[in-house]
């Protein structure tokens, strides 16, 4: 895995921690091409961050700051290593925490939120997590929420004040983009 574009373009990322399913380079490239200028200057929240590749890609492409959240100690170590490799540690904060608990800790407000939960997290649990994200005011008005799901999974129930913006497909991954 590597950073696709921006100031850290070409930086090779550390090995993927066990139990982590990162978004493939091709999928990240397509996603960020579709997001365009929404990334520049954005405050980014990367939930279920894994390797941190998505949030680091955003920083590399001009996001102002990023907060990374993952419950795995190995993932947190990998995110910190990857931020160091990309020379982007000064604009990032990494939290080892359960995502739901992190949302309740008031991490701030964000223009761009990435969620790449385990495919096993679905149904009512995922719907509840999205409702929490909306209810806590974590996403700015007009902000984007990017959710990665297995293509064969059903589309989640989204909060009433969000609208579907686009759906992208890459291999077995569906990338769903919503606007708050």
Query: What pLDDT is stored for residue 154 in this prediction?
Result: 66
Query: What pLDDT is stored for residue 80 in this prediction?
Result: 98
Query: What pLDDT is stored for residue 67 in this prediction?
Result: 98
**pTM for the predicted model, two decimal places:** 0.94
Whole-angstrom Cα distance, residue 79 to residue 89?
Answer: 10
Query: What is the number of other CB atoms lying within 10 angstroms of the CB of residue 48?
Result: 22
Query: What pLDDT is stored for residue 31 in this prediction?
Result: 93
Domain ranges of the chain: 25-179
Query: What pLDDT is stored for residue 14 in this prediction?
Result: 92
SS3 per residue for the chain: CECCCCCCCCCECCCCCCCCCCCCHHHHHHHHHHHHHHCCCCEEEEECCCCCHHHHHHHHCCCCEEEEEECCHHHHHHHHHHHHHHCCHHHEEEEECCHHHHHHCCCCCEEEEEECCCCCCCHHHHHHHHHHHHHCCCEEEEEEEEEEEECCCCCCCCCCCCEEEEEEEECCEEEEEEEC
Whole-angstrom Cα distance, residue 74 to residue 157?
Answer: 31
Tokens of 171: 């291999």
The candidate with the shortest Cα–Cα distance to 104, out of 49, 161, 47, 146, is: 47
For residue 12, the cross-strand partners are: 2
The ranges of the chain with pLDDT < 70 are 154
Residues in the chain: 180
The sign of the torsion formed by the CA atoms of 81, 82, 87, 89 equals negative
Whole-angstrom Cα distance, residue 39 to residue 60?
Answer: 10
Fold of 25-179: Rossmann fold (3.40.50)
């Amino acid at each position: 895995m590597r950073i696709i574009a921006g100031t850290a373009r070409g930086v090779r990322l550390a090995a993927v921690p066990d139990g982590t399913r990162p978004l493939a380079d091709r999928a990240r490239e397509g996603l960020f091409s579709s997001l365009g200028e929404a990334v520049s200057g954005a405050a980014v929240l990367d939930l279920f961050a894994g390797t941190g590749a998505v949030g680091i890609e955003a920083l590399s492409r001009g996001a102002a700051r990023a907060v990374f959240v993952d419950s795995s100690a190995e993932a947190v170590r990998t995110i910190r290593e990857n931020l160091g490799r990309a020379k982007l540690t000064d604009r990032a904060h990494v939290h080892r925490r359960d995502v739901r608990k992190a949302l309740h800790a008031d991490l701030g407000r964000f223009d761009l939120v990435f969620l790449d939960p385990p495919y096993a997290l679905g149904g009512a649990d995922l719907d509840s997590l999205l409702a929490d994200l909306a209810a806590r005011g974590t996403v700015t008005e007009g902000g984007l929420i990017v959710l990665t799901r297995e293509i064969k999974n059903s589309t989640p129930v989204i909060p009433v004040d969000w609208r579907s913006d686009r759906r992208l497909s890459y291999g077995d991954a569906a990338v769903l983009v919503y606007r708050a």
